[in-house]
Structure formats: C-alpha cells, structure tokens
Amino acid sequence: MDSSGPVGPGCRGGALSARPECSPHPSDSTQLVQECLKQFEVTEAQLRQIQASLLGSMEQALLGQNGPAPAVRMLPAYVGSTPHGTEQGDFVVLELGATGASLRVLWVTLTGTEGSRVEPRSREFVIPPDVMLGPGQQLFDFAARCLAEFLEALPVHSRTLPLGFNFSFPCHQTGLDQSTLISWTKGFKCSDVEGQDVVRLLREALKRQGVTSLSVVAVVNDTVGTMMGCDPGLGPCEVGLVVDTGTNACYMEEARHVAALDEDRGRVCVSVEWGSFGDDRALGLVLTPFDHALDLESLNPGAQRFEKLIGGLYLGELVRLVLAHLAQHGLLFGGCTPPALLSRGTLGLEHVAELQDPSAGTARVLTVLQSLGLSPGASDVGLVQSVCMAVSTRAARLCATALAAVLGRLQHSREQQALQLSVATGGRVLARLPRFRSLLQETVMLLAPECSVTFIPSEDGGGRGVAVVTAVAARLAAHRCLLEETLAPFRLDQEQLVVVQAQMREAMAQGLRGEASSLRMLPTYVRATPDGSERGDFLALDLGGTHFRVLLVRVAAGGVQITSQVYAIPEQVAQGTGRQLFDHIVDCIVDFQQRQGLSGQSLPLGFTFSFPCRQLGLDQGILLTWTKGFNASDCEGQDVVTLLREAIGRRQAVELNVVAIVNDTVGTMMSCGYEDHRCEVGLIVGTGTNACYMEELQNVAGVPGDSGRMCINMEWGAFGDDGRLSVPSTCFDASVDRASINPGKQRFEKLISGMYLGEIVRHILLHLNSLGVLFRGQQTQRLQSRDIFKTKFLSEIESDSLALRQVRAILEDLGLPLTSDDALVVREVCQAVSRRAAQLCGAGVAAVVEKIRENRGLEELAVTVGVDGTLYKLHPHFSSLVADTVRALAPRCAVTFLQSEDGSGKGAALVTAVACRLAQMARV
Ligand code: BG6
Ligand code: GLC
Ligand code: GLC
C-alpha cells in the first residue's frame, strides 16, 4: 500500500480532495487543517455510546457469551486480593511487552509492613526487530540471556530467586504460573507462541541458557502489576490502567460474576483487554481514514482497533499519516512532502510528546521537526502541534470512556450508586503526553459523575506489583511442596502394590495351613453357591454394618422377595454388655414379627454377623474378636448363636430356629451368586472391609474332607497385624489407630474402610493447618473433634459433578474457615486417601483371584466378585480404581464386579435355604 497515508476522501467537505496547484494562504491553511482535524473530534454523545457498548461487551464476556472474536476478553488473572503490604523477600521481575521494543529486568526487595522501602534495581535491554518478529524460541532465549546478564552483577549467591513474569499480552491464565498466549498484540509477532503456555516457554529457555538460579512462579499482565504495586497505605486500589505501547485495564470483579471461574466468593482480578474492543466494528463512529490506513499497515490488521486509537505505538504513526496527508495537499511544509513523512515509524511517541509540550518554544518544535528530516516553516509549528493535540486528545477521551465503562461495571457489581476508589496508572502515554492525564480525568468526571476517582501513578512501571504477586505465588508454591510431601507416602506405585499382593498370598497360604498368620482364613461351612432350587420363607438378621436390619425373605420360583426394617443400635448398646446387645436384638425381632404378623411362627433364621467367627458348623460361630465400632463385653470366645438363643430364652414369648450364621462377605457372595453363578468371591468395603472366596477343601487345614470347596472368610481387615505389611504407615494412620477402640488391630481395614478414611483425612487436615497450608494457619477448634469429617464427605467432595463451590459449601457446613485454595487442597487430600484405599483393596482382590486361578490350574480365569458396602457404592471413583488395580496385578483373570442390591441378609437367608434343602434331603 501507499505508505503516505489515505488518499481520496481524506477530509470532510471535500476541501482537501484535490492537491492544490499552489500553496494556499496561511490563514486558509489553518482553516483547512482545522477542518481535517475535526475528524478526530468525538462528541459527548458518541463517547456515551461507546461507553455503553463497551460496558455491554464486558458484561457479555463475563457471562461467557463470547462470539468467535470477542469484543473484550475479560480474562481472570488468578489474583484474588489487593496487597496487604506484608509480603517480603527478594524477587526478580521480567517485563516483556509493556514498553515498545524493550525488555526490562528488575530486582525488587519487598520489606513487609515494617521495613523501609528499597528502590528496585533495573536494566532495560533493546529487543532487536528480528527477535520481535522471529521464532518464539529466539525471543525467549533472548530474555533468558538478559536475565543471566542482569543477575551476574547482583548478590544472588547460590539462592534460587522467585521470578515474576510481566507478560503484557492477552493470555488465558489457568493458574498463577500458567498462561496461554491468545494472540500477539502491539509490535510482536513471534512464531510458535500463540496457543502455548508462556511460562513453560520461559522455563525451557532458562534451562537451555543454563540459568538455574531463577524459578518462575507467577505470570501477570502489566495492568495487574500496576494495580498490585499501588501503595496499600493509600487505601485499596482496585483498578489498574496502562496506556503505554498498548492500552488496557484490570479491575477487581466479584468472582461470582465471572462465568469462566468455578468460584462464588470473593473477588478476582480481571484483565479487560479493551484494546480489542471495536474489532467487531463497534467503533465505526469514530474511525477516520487515517485509522483505516494505520490498521492496514499494522502487524495485525483488523485486530486491536481500540488500542490503535490510544496506544503509544500508534499515536506517532497517526500523526505522521495526517502530516503526510496535509503536506501532500499543500497545507504543510511548503507543499512538499519530505520522504521522512512517507516512511512508517518516523514519528514515535516521544516526538509527539515533545511537539506537544506547551513549555517547548517554537524553536524546540522546529528542531524536532528538522531532526526528523522535515523542513518546517514558522507557520507549520502551530499546525503540527494542532495535529498532535487532536490525535492525543481523542486518545485521552476514548481512554477515559473505557475507564468510565469499567467504573460503571464496578458500580453495578458492587451494587453501589456512588463509588470512591483509586485507580493505579502506568505507562508512557500517561506520563509523557502533557495534557493526557488531565483530559482523562475531566472526561471520566463527565461520563461517570457518581464516581470519585483518585489516580495514583505507579512508581516503577508495575515491577513492585509483579513482585507482590510473585511473593503470593511463591508462598502458594511452598504450600504445594508441603502438601506434596505430606501426601507422598499415600501415593503407592505398581511395585509397592505387587509386594502387597505377594504378602497377602503368603499370609493366605499360612492361614489356610493353620500356621501363624494375620489372615485367619476362617472356614464358613458354606460349600456351594445357590442353585436356584431353594424355596421357602426365612427370617434374617443383619448385624455389623451401618444398619442393623431384620428381614423376611421369601424365596419362590419367581425370585426373592424381601421385607425389611432397619433398627438402631445405640453406641452404649454396641459397647455395653453382651446381654444388653443380644436382648436388644431379640426385642427388634419381636417388634418386626409383630409388625409383619409373624408372631408365633418359627421360621428358619439366618444371621449375618459381620465379625470374625471361628465356625464349627453352619450354626455355630465363636466370636474371635470384635471389630469396627462394637465392643460388647462377655461375647468374645462365645458362640454367637448360643448368645442369641439365650436371649430368645429370656424372652419366653418367641421361638426362633437359628439355622445359619454367615459373615457379610459370605452373604454378599451368596446373594450375588443367586444372580450370577460365576460369583465365587465376596467383597465388602463399607464400615469395615473383608473378603471371602471359594477355596479347595484340600487346602483348608482343620476341616475334614478333601474334595469339593468351601467358602473361606479371610478376615483381611486384620492383614498386617503381625507387622508383615510393607505399606508405609503414616503418622496419620498411627493417630487414627491410637484413637480407635482396638489399637494395633485391623491394620489393613484401617487403611481402607469407611470407618477410618474420614478420620485419616481429618488428621492430615490438622497437620496442614499447623503448617499454615490450610485455613490461613488459623487454629480451628472444629477440626479437633473426632469423627467430624465423615467418610461420606470424601465421596461428595470427590464427585466430578460437584463444582468447587459445592465442595466449599460442604466444608463450610463443618464450620471450617475456608479460602478458595483450601477447597482444592482438601479435595486433593481426600483423593490421595481414597486412592490408596482403593489400590490396597485391589491388590487384595488380585491376590484372591490369582489364588483361585492357580488352585484350578487355569491359564485364564473368568470370575465374578460380589461387592457391597457404602464406601464402594457411594464413592465416585473407588470401584473403578479397584478394577484398574486388579487388571494391572492379575492380568490373567477376567474379573467382573457385581454390586449386591439387597444386602447380605438375603445371602444369609439363601444359606439357610440351602441348609434346609440339604437337611430335608437327608431326612428323605
Ligand atoms: C451389606 C450388609 O451387604 O453391606 C451389611 O447387609 C454389611 O451387613 C454391609 O456389613 C457393609 O456395608 P456398610 O457400609 O453398611 O458397612
Ligand atoms: C495490549 C495487551 C494487553 C496489555 C496492554 C498494555 O493491549 O494485549 O495485555 O495490558 O497492551 O500493555
Ligand atoms: C470387619 C469384620 C468382618 C466384616 C467386615 C466388613 O472387618 O471383622 O467380619 O466382614 O468388617 O463388614
């Protein structure tokens, strides 16, 4: 294109449409020039229209209703509060993109509230043009070399310094140190950077250049640095405005209004990116042919149209285009157009500033113009100054309009009619153009009269603010390290799980042989899963899980029909005397019989009793030890069926025929076996955890007979009680164990089951709180209370469908003083604890199915595991993690997990039914 500027319909009224034969008279020139410059005038009505349209675009973008090319981007900046002034330490700041073709490196020392301010040290490096437009890697390598050079002269010693990266381009931030460049703006256009995380690119470059003393911890936009650098002593400053090479603002928005964030509390800094406003033609009203020409010759035609009316990169160019046009029309420089005016970039922001400076006399203006290779006459001076003034006045008024729109947004979101606030300002346009600041202020007052704004110029180009954000980021990074350290022992790798599986296999074999082992491998006298021919009405009891139930189970040709009733077992009963406990159980049975109209009938009864029992037959089970929350006296070592019969005897009114006692794992296997004949394993992951499976009778010591199979109740909850479990036991596990009613017992169960996971999480949270990682380090009394953190919270908190705000609601209900980062930390803790549990459980299942496969001498085994338990069923990821682990550790077994729908009571009834069928057959 012709770089001399717009031709054709240049000035209104056609006054300049043709080049005059000879130069017009000076006073005519003045008039014609003024007429041309009228195009740069923007009326108040137009400003108000732009203000409204920009506000509308901002609100749309906040709602996430952006079209493909949004008018403004409203990018959240991961900065949630303005500085407290307490931040301390040495920081390095790298600034790229704010100021033209240079890059600045600063060393900033923050001294907290007490210390006196230390001036930053800084150095500017000019970026060669080919680096600004070349490959991205070259730009980042250049930056890394500048950093290295800067650090050479400073007392770094062997420290690693936190680095804040002030990167002044539109970016999608996903964390304090994660930011993807959307598109280059201003004078940059390096390849292979758009769509990339610029922090990663900088880190890679530092590595390539051997710079090891810097750790990039935060990335911020220049507007955010400007806002955060504001002296907190002057009151909260909630807007940052930059008018430098480009222009933009950020402000503190209510987080709940930012659709892109999963956050409903507090405020978050949003970078408006108003430079792109008008890319969708909203600026048609004010654009002149000069603006179109400038846009066409820019690196990004069609983009950043608003910025191109205001930013320092463009003001000089606009002035040049107007001057060239006027000269070509004989209105300047004696009618000749000096070559300097025809080439792009001749006039920079500095020239415009100098030409406009009211204190510079005519002589100074002439000197500046001559230095540019122009030949001004005396009459040109005033005209050139008018051109500069027209261009920069329009810029200041448009910038004020945008700021007024931001203030309107703040008023709206704060629901306040009148606002009083400070705006931190930065950038060379504001600092150097003589009337820019006052015009800006006047126009803001005109367009936002309800706002009382104090403008506070930033002192060091936002470097301090970047350091403040970096300090916060460094603190968060330190917290992350502490969190990782705390959770590391919970993270088990495949090798560790293989060891657990092998240890389980060994303990199983020892237990079966009757040797000392933490696995008791108890024979259950259940020899077969149901075959479908069972019939009759049965009573069942189900004791030991979350609920105590009494059931009536009708097994008929059409299937199984169940009626049940849940009864409470108060803690004082569960932990009182055995007599109390069994009397209570019989009371519940009597009540159930009355409600069901069964009084007087003596139905066969199956008793699901979910505790370790040594069985001598189907209807005889000696309680070895209580587990979980039960501890009733005088029961251990006793036959549970006898205890029940004695209690029945004490209530003379009832008659009951106790046929079978069944562990819940066995009940589950039987119940699932009724649906799926391949079900030969029963697994419980609920209040406690355990498994049973069908073992070859010949492998079971102490039970007569060598053929056939018997279901073995492994009682794997006690696995490792002999110290032979190699999983790292954390201090949190130790605390949970110490506080339990059976310290040192049920080690495996205490790593896995619902009764304990919430408590493990609570102990970790207490620890993180004491390290200052959670709840701002404030001691929380609530968290000291035992069992306040229920295992069901893990299931809720880890649910994918739950937004973080819901997670917070759960925690707030517990009375915990959360910040938004805390909710994330708590979720990670829950994930680590439940993942370990699921993996250990999977290693156990892998051991069991592999044993079955080997028992049968099969290459491949297809088997079903019947599963029950609230943790397994309610947790969103537990079941799939178990399955994944089994797949990895027992690749030759195709394992199907079948969830039991009706609880173990149904299984107990089925065991009873099988026993009755066999007894009947024996009698025949
Ligand atoms: C069910 C049983 O199968 O699962 C209970 O009917 C059993 O008796 C339970 O103990 C395990 O789940 P939870 O979560 O209630 O302990
Ligand atoms: C450009 C950038 C923006 C920056 C502004 C001021 O508009 O896109 O991120 O804040 O310039 O430097
Ligand atoms: C405990 C019991 C065990 C039961 C398991 C699941 O580990 O000792 O018998 O199967 O909890 O409820």
How many angstroms separate the alpha carbon of residue 532 from the centre of ligand 2?
75
Catalytic residue among 549, 747, 762, 808: 549
Would residue 179 show up in a list of annotated catalytic residues for this protein? no
Most distant pair of Cα atoms in the chain: their distance:
134
**Residue pair 640/607 in contact by the 8 Å Cβ criterion:** yes
> Which ligand places an atom closest to the C-alpha of 752?
3
- Tell me the mean pLDDT in the region 152-178: 91
Q: What is the pLDDT of residue 16?
A: 42
Single-letter residue type at 724 = R
Residue with CA closest to ligand 1 atom 7: 545
8-state DSSP, 697: G
Rounded Cα–Cα distance for residues 669 and 515 (Å)? 26
DSSP 760-802: HHHHHHHHHHHTTSSGGG---SGGGSTT-S-HHHHHHHT-TTS
User: How many angstroms does the Cα of residue 906 sit away from the middle of ligand 1?
Assistant: 12
Instruction: State residue 20's pLDDT score.
Output: 37
Q: Which residues line ligand 1 (CB under 6 A)?
A: 542, 544-546, 608, 610, 664, 668, 684, 686-687, 754, 868-870, 900, 903-905
Looking at 197, 619, 664, 733, which residue is catalytic? Answer: 664
pLDDT at 23: 57
DSSP characters for 542-601? EESSSSEEEEEEEEETTEEEEEEEEE---HHHHTSBHHHHHHHHHHHHHHHHHHHT-TT-
Which residue's alpha carbon is at the smallest distance from atom 8 of ligand 3?
611
| Nearest CA owner, ligand 1 atom 10 | 545
Residue range 322-327: mean pLDDT, rounded: 95
Tell whether the torsion through CA atoms of 643, 645, 646 and 651 is positive or negative: positive
Nearest CA to ligand 1 atom 4: 869
pLDDT tier for residue 66 given thresholds of 50, 70 and 90: low
State the distance from the centre of ligand 3 to the C-alpha of 871, rounded, in angstroms. 14
| Residues facing 683 on adjacent strands | 691, 867
Residue in 541, 542, 569 to alter for ligand 1 test, most ligand atoms within 8 A of Cβ: 542
Going from the Cα of 837 to the center of ligand 1, the distance in angstroms, rounded, reads 17
pLDDT of amino acid 112: 77
Going 573 to 577 to 579 to 580, the CA torsion angle's sign is: negative
**Chain Cα centroid distance, residue 642:** 56
**pLDDT value of position 5:** 44
Q: Which of 17-21, 275-279, 645-649, 880-884 has the highest mean pLDDT?
A: 880-884
Q: Tell me: the pLDDT tens digits for 779-832?
A: 888 899 999 999 999 999 998 877 777 788 888 888 887 776 788 899 999 999
Q: Which atom of ligand 3 is nearest to the CA of 544?
A: 12
- Closest residue (by CA) to atom 8 of ligand 1? 545
Q: What is the pLDDT of residue 551?
A: 95
- What's the gap in Å between 715 CA and the centre of ligand 3? 7
Provide the token pair at 685. 């992951």
Residue 336 has pLDDT above 70, yes or no: yes
Q: What is the mean pLDDT of residues 191-200?
A: 98
Substitution candidate for ligand 3 out of 715, 745, 750, 871 with most atoms within 8 A of CB: 715
Distance 544 CA to ligand 3 centre (A): 8
The residue to mutate among 74, 166, 227, 247, having the most atoms of ligand 2 within 8 angstroms of its beta carbon, is 247
Mean per-residue pLDDT of the chain: 90
Give pLDDT, residue 530: 79
273 alpha carbon – ligand 2 mean position (Å): 7
Q: Can you give the pLDDT at residue 80?
A: 77
pLDDT classification of 69: cutoffs 50, 70, 90? low
Q: pLDDT tens, 491-506?
A: 999 999 999 999 999 9
pLDDT tens digits, one per residue of 95-141: 999 888 999 999 999 887 766 777 889 999 999 999 999 999 999 99
Average the pLDDT over each of 161-165, 370-374, 854-858 and give the range with the smallest value: 370-374
pLDDT on residue 820? 65
pLDDT in tens, 510-522: 999 999 999 999 9
* CA 386 / ligand 2 centre spacing (Å): 28
pLDDT at 8: 33
pLDDT at 9 over 50: no
Task: Report the length, in residues, of the chain.
Answer: 924
The interaxial angle of helices 820-855 and 463-487, nearest 10 deg, is 30
Mean pLDDT of 238-262: 93
Give the active site residue among 57, 610, 671, 879. Answer: 610
Closest atom of ligand 2 to CA, residue 171: 9
Nearest CA to ligand 2 atom 9: 169
Residues with C-beta less than 6 Å from any ligand 2 atom: 98, 168-170, 185-186, 221-223, 242, 244, 246-248, 273, 275, 307
CA distance 373 to 371: 5
| Whole-angstrom Cα Rg for the chain | 39
Q: Which of 684, 687, 841, 901 to mutate to test the pocket of ligand 1 (most atoms within 8 A of CB)?
A: 684
- Atom 1, ligand 3: which residue's CA is nearest? 688
What is the arithmetic mean of pLDDT over 847-859?
98
Whether 738 is catalytic is: no
Closest ligand to Cα 221: 2
The pLDDT of residue 459 is above 80: no
Burial class (CB in 10 A: 0-12, 13-18, 19+), 921: exposed
Task: State in Å: Cα 628 to ligand 1 middle.
Answer: 12
Checking if the pLDDT of 881 tops 60, the result is yes
Does residue 653 or residue 845 have the better pLDDT?
845
Cβ–Cβ contacts within 10 Å for residue 702, how many? Answer: 12
pLDDT band at 230 (very low <50, low <70, confident <90, very high): confident
pLDDT of residue 92: 95
Catalytic annotation on 664? Answer: yes
pLDDT of residue 83: 66
- Ligand 3 pocket, CB under 6 A: 544-545, 610-612, 627-628, 663-665, 684, 686-690, 715, 717, 749
* DSSP E strands, 394-483: 419-426, 451-457
Q: Is the pLDDT of residue 22 over 80?
A: no
Span from the CA of 79 to the centroid of ligand 1 (angstroms): 47
